[in-house]
């Protein structure tokens, strides 16, 4: 049976991004349908942010405790892996989405279970799990927020080897004895940190010269040093040319053949080498767009060339981070509401509410390794490539009084990238224990383009690690 229904807005994808779009359009009085083929709450809630950080939190807490005299003797034993996994399961609601469904119901959004496919302008067909079909027509906007998926590279033997992606790595029921991790980005280093501490012997295989290549070089150096001290093996400038496993997942050891012919054996292999948009089967071809492509949008997140179609979150490839996707969702929801009311955006754009400018200049990210890495804005290399006249100001975090109180033998580093023509910050990077909580102050400085002379009067509390701000500013003035 096919049912036809009309809404003001139809949202494809009910992860945090799609949920936030629905929240904003419903708050503006627009009827909204949300279509989801998996769990309401999406990748972040069940296979990414929440489970990964639940796995990592005990690891980081134990590492911090081990650096404190009077406490370190009590935390020398191994982690209780099953207790950590049980808490992970609680944080994912045991992969049940009743609470998320209830929340969408509470704001008045209509949830459709099934696969949503565009079928021409403003029309979405929902193929339900029981064979039912719904045709949804959007009066004002269709929003694509279907997210991204892990990409398996074209390595001989990999497709049939039962390799882990980020989903399997965050939802595994036990620690493999030996885990090979291919990739040195955020997923690779976070999962290497977690599973090494939970009982696996981790070997990290990285094609490039270091870890976390999109951040300042010193970040990867600090993280690599800590992983090595924890017992992991890191192989840089290493390519995997083949994968061998008889019988697929769970059927025995997996062998990785390296570029020089060396063979490494593991019990599981995690591939963490990139993401692709989940747009290959949503009917983009029916509206003149390429299936499987990233969707190019303007700063209101409207797809270029299609005045009723929006793409929010990972699918637009601006910043593959949940918090940036939710930010875009707020922007898109406000823009859709204004256009539905025939209000010009420039007249109604209070505080820049319809323009996702932070995607260009002030994207923050925390990597939850031990030590943590946190960065916002441009790295030194990115600023130089963009043609800015800049200066990098560096300071040893261990020299700040608050760091010495935080932990014995504290190690860390901080850098701010200063635009010398405007004397504002273009980027800030920290690496060290507990630095994730420093990042929002840096984000405000970068997003607000706060002049250096005004930052001088933002006095950090003593003795906290945030005194690093004073030391960076002093170093800049002395330079």
pLDDT tens per residue, range 29-73 = 999 999 999 999 999 999 999 999 999 999 999 999 999 999 999
Asked whether 434 and 406 are in contact (CB, 8 A), the reply is yes
pLDDT value at residue 300:
95
Q: Where are the domains of the chain?
A: 2-41+97-149+277-358, 166-273, 371-478
Distances (CA, A) of 237 to 75, 187, 202, 217, 436: 35, 18, 17, 15, 29
pLDDT value at residue 354:
80
Low-confidence ranges of the chain (pLDDT < 50): none
Record the pTM: 0.95
Say which residues have a Cβ less than 8 Å from residue 474's Cβ, sequence separation at least 6.
none
- For the stretch 249-257, contacts whose Cβ atoms lie closer than 8 Å and that sit 24 or more positions apart, written own/partner, are 249/161, 249/162, 250/162, 251/162, 253/178, 254/161, 254/162, 254/163, 254/180, 256/180, 256/182, 256/205
pLDDT value at residue 247:
75
Phi-psi category of 64—alpha, beta or left, where left has phi over 0 and alpha has psi -120 to 50? alpha
Q: How far apart are CA 113 and CA 109, in angstroms?
A: 13
Q: How far apart are CA 223 and CA 5, in angstroms?
A: 52
pLDDT value at residue 223:
98
pLDDT tens per residue, range 299-315 = 999 999 999 999 999 99
Strand 424-432 to 372-377 pairing: antiparallel
pLDDT value at residue 1:
57
Calculate the CA 142 to chain-centre distance.
24
Tokens of residue 141, six digits: 């906007």
Q: What CATH number does domain 166-273 carry, 2.130.10.10, 3.50.50.60, 1.20.140.10, 3.30.1490.270?
A: 3.50.50.60
CATH topology of domain 371-478: Enolase-like; domain 1 (3.30.390)
Tokens of residue 211, six digits: 């870890």
Asked whether 313 and 297 are in contact (CB, 8 A), the reply is no
Asked whether 193 and 369 are in contact (CB, 8 A), the reply is yes
Q: What is the dihedral of CA 103, 106, 109, 112, to 10 degrees?
A: 60
pLDDT value at residue 351:
56
Closest CA to 151 of 280, 332, 23: 280
pLDDT value at residue 323:
97
Confirm whether 2-41+97-149+277-358 and 166-273 share one CATH topology: yes
CATH topology of domain 2-41+97-149+277-358: FAD/NAD(P)-binding domain (3.50.50)
Let me know how long the chain is.
479
251 burial level (CB within 10 Å; 0-12, 13-18, 19+): exposed
pLDDT value at residue 296:
97
DSSP secondary structure code for residue 459 in this structure: P
């Amino acid at each position: 049976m096919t049912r036809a229904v009309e809404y003001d807005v139809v949202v494809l994808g009910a992860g945090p991004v799609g949920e936030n779009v629905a929240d904003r359009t419903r708050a503006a009085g627009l009827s909204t349908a949300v279509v989801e083929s998996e769990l309401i709450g999406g990748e972040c809630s069940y296979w990414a942010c929440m489970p990964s950080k639940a796995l990592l939190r005990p690891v980081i807490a134990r590492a911090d405790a081990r650096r404190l005299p009077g406490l370190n003797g009590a935390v020398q034993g191994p982690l209780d892996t099953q207790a950590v996994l049980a808490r992970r399961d609680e944080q994912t609601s045991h992969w049940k989405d009743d609470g998320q469904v209830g929340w969408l119901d509470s704001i008045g959004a209509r949830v459709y279970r099934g696969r949503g496919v565009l079928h021409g302008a403003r029309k979405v067909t929902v193929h339900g799990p029981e064979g039912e079909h719904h045709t949804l027509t959007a009066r004002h906007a269709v929003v694509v927020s279907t997210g991204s998926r892990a990409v398996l590279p074209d390595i001989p033997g990999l497709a049939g080897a039962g390799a882990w992606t980020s989903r399997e790595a965050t939802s595994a029921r036990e620690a493999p004895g030996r885990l090979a991790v291919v990739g040195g980005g955020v997923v690779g280093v976070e999962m290497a940190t977690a599973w090494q501490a939970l009982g696996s012997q981790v070997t990290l295989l990285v094609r490039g010269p270091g870890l976390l290549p999109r951040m300042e070089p010193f970040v990867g150096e600090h993280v690599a040093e800590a992983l090595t001290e924890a017992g992991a093996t890191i192989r840089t400038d290493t390519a995997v040319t083949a994968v061998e496993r008889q019988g697929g997942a769970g059927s025995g050891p997996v062998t990785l053949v390296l570029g020089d012919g060396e063979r490494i054996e593991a019990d599981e292999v995690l591939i963490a080498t990139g993401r692709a948009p989940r747009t290959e089967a949503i009917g983009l071809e029916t509206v003149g767009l390429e299936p499987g492509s990233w969707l190019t949008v303007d700063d209101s997140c409207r797809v270029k060339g299609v005045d009723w179609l929006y793409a929010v979150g990972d699918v637009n490839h601006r910043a593959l981070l949940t918090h940036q996707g939710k930010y875009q969702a707020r922007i898109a929801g406000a823009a859709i509401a204004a256009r539905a009311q025939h209000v010009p955006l420039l007249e109604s754009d209070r505080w820049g509410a319809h323009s996702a400018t932070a995607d260009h200049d002030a994207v923050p990210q925390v990597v939850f390794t031990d030590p943590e890495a946190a960065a916002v804005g441009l790295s030194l290399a990115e600023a130089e490539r963009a043609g800015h006249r800049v200066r990098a100001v560096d300071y040893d975090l261990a020299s700040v009084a608050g760091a010495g109180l935080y932990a014995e033998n504290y190690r860390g580093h901080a850098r701010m990238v200063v635009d010398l023509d405007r004397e504002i910050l273009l980027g800030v990077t920290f690496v060290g224990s507990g630095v994730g909580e420093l990042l929002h102050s840096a984000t405000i400085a970068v997003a607000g383009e706060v002049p250096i002379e005004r930052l001088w009067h933002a006095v950090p509390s003593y003795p906290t690690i945030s005194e690093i701000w004073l030391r960076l500013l002093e170093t800049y003035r002395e330079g």
